[in-house]
Structure 1
Amino acid sequence: MPQKSAIENWIDNHRELLLLTIILPWGKLFSWKDRLISFLTRPDPKDHEKRVHRVVSDVRRLSRQAKELRTDRRGNRSLTTRISDKSQSQPIGIRDLRSVVSIDEAGMTVRVEPFATIGDVVSHLDKKGYQLETAIEMKGATIGGLVLAIGMTTKSHITGLMHDIVEAYEIVTAEGELLRVTKEGEHADLFRAIPWSHGTLGFLVAIEMRIIPATPYVRLVYRPFYSLETYCEEHSRLLHSDNPPTYLEAQVFGRNKAVIIEGYPAGKEEAGDFPVNDVNSWHKPFFFKHVESMLELGEGRDFSELVPLTSFLMRHERSMCMTMGQIVPSANNVWFRRFFGWTLPPNMPLLKSSRPTEERERSMKRQVYQDFAFPSEHLQGMLEHLHDEFEIYPLLIYPCRVFDRGGMVRLPGQRAVEWDGTERSALYFNIGIYGEPKAVREGNFDYPTVNKVREIEQKISDLGGFLHTYVDIFSTKEEFEAMFDHSLWRKMRQKYGAEGVFPEIYDKVKPELDPLQFVR
């Protein structure tokens, strides 16, 4: 068994102390400072056209230089596992495009700039009595990042992904042309190619998205299950029913331990019938720990409560989708929540910047941090495979409806097939798995984690599924392009002059460290 380096030993022995005393408190101060600066320098929505004109001018001036164009967002600011290296690129000033430009109440759409965060948009709309038709649970995620990559929520089985609620993209092409791209317009082919393109076809400068009236609460119904077969059968039944729950999610805590969470919009009149629980308050248990407590209900029992809408929409924010339990094992303890709960979620730029190369390398070799989707009929088989290979819990499971419009993601049997103009859809399940495999937890640091993750990636691809691209991608470029159909994307790269001006997708999503060096 290989010896740990001195740095690895120090991190093992002092990581939590370092986080508690420095990174989390200072990170919160930095977050407050950033919010204050953001508030004081908030761009005026009325000046949106001026900001867009500046982007157009910069692209026209710089697009034919040797360097590829990328946004000026710092590499450690994203919510991905990687830190993007932009040192060889030409930055285009676009970070100040972060306003909610306007709300069209007649057409029920909101027009936002790409660097507006989901938290800002949810808060802005809530004050007006609206909400996005679908919204993910991480405040710091930007709207542009979600529609250019992937945004999946517990309502995605009804509405699809975040890009499926987009009515129009406003994009600056490599030639510096400003286009309004819609599903039925002259740029309909580009509309189909933009999702999952990661900014490789142009710079988004505005997005129009569908909104719906907001309700003050979501009524959550928790139901525990004590058999893998029974849980999978019930989750699939709900997903495929004629009238599924508005929100649907499950968390799996062991091979035969799971909780299904159904959510229904609720008005103030229901507040007297059910307890109200602000699950995202800083001193409350993490949402996944709250859900785990429902296993105590017993067979055939359920529990219902009302959660304020914005609290529900951000319910995984503090725990960073269950990963805080890995970063700070004591984070859900009462003493931590009482004295340090205010420091969460951590400041992502500081957290990523404080991570030494050795720690990043070690996490790739010893941890699984994956999110992937696959056709719904394979749920039980996938859970059994993950248990046998990793035995990592809890698992986060979302259902989603995947639409095939001939773009990057195609349904099984359709990859590399010329799109015939027919929109197709299918129901998928998505699994988030975060943590160390059982073998690693038991001290086997020779466990071939990277190999096993690569096997999962190939299995997902073979089933007609796909990876989320905010996690580490261990696939080669050829394997990645076999999973995502690049046919339309390549045509749009040629048609709109993006070749040589914007990076390729794989170059933007691959880890900063080559995972193949860790293959055993």
Structure 2
Amino acid sequence: MSNSRREAKKPWIDTFTSFLEKNRGFVILFFCLPASFVFDLILISKKMLLRKFFADPKLHDKRVQIIQREVKKWNSLPKEQRKLLCTSRPNWMSLSLTFFKKEHCHQIDVDLDDILELDETNMTVKVEPMVTVGDITKYLIPKGYTLAVTLEIADATLGGLAMGAGMTTRSHIAGLYHENVISYEVVLGNGNLVTASCTENKDLYGCLPMSHGSLGFVVALTLRIIKTKPYVKINYVPVKGLNNYCDMIRLLSGDKGPDYPVADFVEATIFDRNEAVVMTGTFSDLDKNLRVNNVNRWYKPWFYKYVETFLKKGKHTELVPLREYLLRHNRAIFWVAESAIPFGNNVLFRFLFGWLLPPKPAFLKYTTTPAIRKSTITKLVFQDVVLPMRKLEDQIDLSEKLFGVYPLLVYPCKIFDRGFGFGQLKRPRGDYLVDGTDYAMYNDLGIYGVPGYVKNREKYNPVEAIREMEKFARDVGGFSFLYADIFMDREEFERMFDLGSYEIVRKKYGAEEAFPHLYDKVKPEIDVFQIGRLCKVD
């Protein structure tokens, strides 16, 4: 084809691409939702067949041996031919916002997604890393159990949560997700298989959380489970006044001390600076005096929209089936889906198409063009920042100043003082520790959506805004969840996290020349600082 003919076609391609970007909600409706629905059916069918005919720990061992063999084969290459290792899982399958450049790495297939063993005596379940939250809740809840910490997004993988960081509404009791990992099985950069636990390879065990696949390939993990009841009794309490709802969250989560009773679940949705709904939940049997609300039915309002109604209705108590409670934010991906499908909570849409929700994050990411990727930075904010709860008012004030976006999500969480040299998380400051304990009460501040400045077409520099939030986190001893875009340089990143023991572990276990560094795994694949400079010019 001649250059002139290529040039003639280019405007049509640009126009079509521009149309798709401007009408992404309809693209998602007519492509992503049906495609993700079919994809989910295929995935479910595949897993059912595998578990029915191949659920055998011996097959797990064989699959791990194949991974070991591939890594050892890589080791046999001349040193100059060895690219750093990573998994072959496509970027678009990951829940991370970034697109790590896997094409620059030597990719290993680590597609392990079986549930291996339920140990009801020791209250643990052993799983392969690609088992999802959706899989494990379907498996455990009918048996009367759930994970000690269960994330709300069904597509999140249990291995990914362990290598990143997970927090939920039970974290004020159980801590972060990785606090409830009993042990890991890891294939190292030399192909050897090791176990990491609090008694075996303890240094590796401490550094695997928040390592994002930069220390080895996790091929199995053993997780703590708890006994449950079939329902969660939820109390919705609307609260007016910033100080009032912040004080209530601190009280209900146990920041006042271990002698104060706490509910099984605690969360808050802040709808503006002066109004929030604080929710507590307790495991419950069926109570005929309370209404059962199946919050995840396809025609129901998105959960956060339902919660918002109690600002006018007042206090309310109801029962929600346990799995529906655990996945209550799944259909709307908290409230992120609104950015992609603005009409998604419309009554007519829910009735006709609600059964297709949620859009699988994989397909949202799959349809992300370079222009859309840039838009997620310049016109949207997706951040989870873990900060000391005693600074809750300051967090909310700063978030409003920098982003002007509501609702805000607040999950309380214990951050334990594990001493020096144990993992990437810094020890909580002494003045944050709850009296008589070895932990401080922190909270996740979830900031998702279109900033108010963008809605009002006012000047907004996302890089400067998020960098200021990151600086606040560093100053008060908090940290960012690394699934989202970070705007720190390497030096700032190493001030937020304690990488001393991590660097020692990388060297000791042969990861330095085998796997990318943590910072390189999680930094955005595009030049966010250039975006910040362009925003200044605009």
Match of residue 78 from structure 1:
94
One-letter amino acid of the counterpart of residue 367, structure 1: L
Task: Map Cα deviations across residues 279-328 of structure 1 (whole Å, 9 max, x no partner).
Answer: 11121111111111111124xxx210001011111111111121011211
What aligned pairs does 1:146-225 form with structure 2 within 5 A after superposition? 146-185=161-200, 187-225=201-239
Separation (CA, whole Å) in 1 of partners of 2:121 and 2:27: 52
Task: Map Cα deviations across residues 109-150 of structure 1 (whole Å, 9 max, x no partner).
Answer: 111111111111111112222111111111111111011110
Separation (CA, whole Å) in 1 of partners of 2:429 and 2:271: 33
Match of residue 457 from structure 2:
443
The alpha-carbon deviation at position 7 of structure 1 amounts to 7.5
Separation (CA, whole Å) in 1 of partners of 2:488 and 2:19: 31
SS at match of 1:141: coil
Task: Map Cα deviations across residues 406-434 of structure 1 (whole Å, 9 max, x no partner).
Answer: 210012459xxxxxxxx942110111111
One-letter amino acid of the counterpart of residue 490, structure 2: K
The answer as to 2:31 corresponding to 1:18 is: no
Indicate which of 259, 268, 271 corresponds to 1:250: 268
Separation (CA, whole Å) in 1 of partners of 2:466 and 2:272: 20
Residues 458/112 of structure 1: CA separation in 2 closer, same or farther (3 Å cut):
same
One-letter amino acid of the counterpart of residue 376, structure 1: M
Task: Map Cα deviations across residues 61-110 of structure 1 (whole Å, 9 max, x no partner).
Answer: 21354111111211110111123321111111211x11110011111111
Separation (CA, whole Å) in 1 of partners of 2:236 and 2:415: 26
Indicate which of 20, 33, 42 corresponds to 2:42: 33
Match of residue 116 from structure 2:
101
The alpha-carbon deviation at position 452 of structure 1 amounts to 0.8
Residues 171/106 of structure 1: CA separation in 2 closer, same or farther (3 Å cut):
same
What aligned pairs does 1:376-391 form with structure 2 within 5 A after superposition? 376-391=389-404
One-letter amino acid of the counterpart of residue 462, structure 2: T
Indicate which of 233, 257, 261 corresponds to 2:279: 261
Structure 2 unmatched runs, 5+: 1-13, 431-436
One-letter amino acid of the counterpart of residue 287, structure 1: F
Match of residue 116 from structure 1:
131
TM-score normalized by structure 2? 0.89
Match of residue 227 from structure 1:
241
Match of residue 455 from structure 1:
468
Indicate which of 357, 370, 375 corresponds to 1:362: 375
One-letter amino acid of the counterpart of residue 358, structure 1: A
The alpha-carbon deviation at position 459 of structure 1 amounts to 0.9
Structure 1 unmatched runs, 5+: 415-422
What aligned pairs does 1:52-63 form with structure 2 within 5 A after superposition? 52-63=64-75
Relative to structure 2, which stretch is displaced further, 464-473 or 170-179?
Answer: 170-179
> 8 Å contact 1:224–1:295 — kept in the other structure?
yes
Indicate which of 313, 318, 327 corresponds to 1:305: 318
> 8 Å contact 1:8–1:359 — kept in the other structure?
no
- Tell me the percent identity: 38
Residues 124/387 of structure 1: CA separation in 2 closer, same or farther (3 Å cut):
same
> 8 Å contact 1:251–1:258 — kept in the other structure?
yes
> 8 Å contact 1:277–1:308 — kept in the other structure?
yes
> 8 Å contact 1:411–1:425 — kept in the other structure?
no
The alpha-carbon deviation at position 263 of structure 1 amounts to 0.6
Match of residue 128 from structure 1:
143
Separation (CA, whole Å) in 1 of partners of 2:165 and 2:205: 15
Task: Map Cα deviations across residues 448-483 of structure 1 (whole Å, 9 max, x no partner).
Answer: 122111111111111100001111111112211211
SS at match of 1:138: coil
SS at match of 1:35: helix
Cα root mean square deviation, aligned: 1.8
The alpha-carbon deviation at position 9 of structure 1 amounts to 6.1
One-letter amino acid of the counterpart of residue 129, structure 1: G
The answer as to 2:38 corresponding to 1:51 is: no
Separation (CA, whole Å) in 1 of partners of 2:31 and 2:92: 18
Indicate which of 356, 361, 365 corresponds to 1:352: 365
Separation (CA, whole Å) in 2 of partners of 1:343 and 1:121: 21
* Regions of 4+ moved over 4 Å: 5-9
One-letter amino acid of the counterpart of residue 23, structure 1: C
The alpha-carbon deviation at position 6 of structure 1 amounts to 6.3
Relative to structure 2, which stretch is displaced further, 61-70 or 307-316?
Answer: 61-70
Separation (CA, whole Å) in 2 of partners of 1:64 and 1:230: 63
The alpha-carbon deviation at position 8 of structure 1 amounts to 8.6
Task: Map Cα deviations across residues 337-381 of structure 1 (whole Å, 9 max, x no partner).
Answer: 001101211122322121211111122112211100111110011
Indicate which of 289, 298, 315 corresponds to 1:282: 298
> 8 Å contact 1:83–1:352 — kept in the other structure?
no
Residues 64/456 of structure 1: CA separation in 2 closer, same or farther (3 Å cut):
farther
Match of residue 401 from structure 1:
414
One-letter amino acid of the counterpart of residue 359, structure 2: P
Separation (CA, whole Å) in 2 of partners of 1:379 and 1:131: 30
Separation (CA, whole Å) in 1 of partners of 2:43 and 2:138: 17
> 8 Å contact 1:63–1:69 — kept in the other structure?
no
The alpha-carbon deviation at position 177 of structure 1 amounts to 1.7
SS at match of 1:87: helix
Match of residue 497 from structure 1:
510
Relative to structure 2, which stretch is displaced further, 102-111 or 44-53?
Answer: 44-53
The answer as to 2:83 corresponding to 1:67 is: yes
Residues 509/402 of structure 1: CA separation in 2 closer, same or farther (3 Å cut):
same
> 8 Å contact 1:248–1:263 — kept in the other structure?
yes
Task: Map Cα deviations across residues 204-252 of structure 1 (whole Å, 9 max, x no partner).
Answer: 1111111111210010000001211211111112122521111000000
TM-score normalized by structure 1? 0.92
> 8 Å contact 1:112–1:207 — kept in the other structure?
yes
SS at match of 1:296: helix
The alpha-carbon deviation at position 16 of structure 1 amounts to 2.3
One-letter amino acid of the counterpart of residue 214, structure 2: T
SS at match of 1:317: coil
SS at match of 2:102: coil
Separation (CA, whole Å) in 2 of partners of 1:159 and 1:435: 29
Residues 344/494 of structure 1: CA separation in 2 closer, same or farther (3 Å cut):
same
Separation (CA, whole Å) in 1 of partners of 2:328 and 2:521: 29
Residues 204/13 of structure 1: CA separation in 2 closer, same or farther (3 Å cut):
closer
Separation (CA, whole Å) in 1 of partners of 2:110 and 2:35: 27
Give the count of matched residue pairs.
500
Match of residue 420 from structure 1:
none
> 8 Å contact 2:144–2:227 — kept in the other structure?
yes
> 8 Å contact 1:477–1:506 — kept in the other structure?
yes
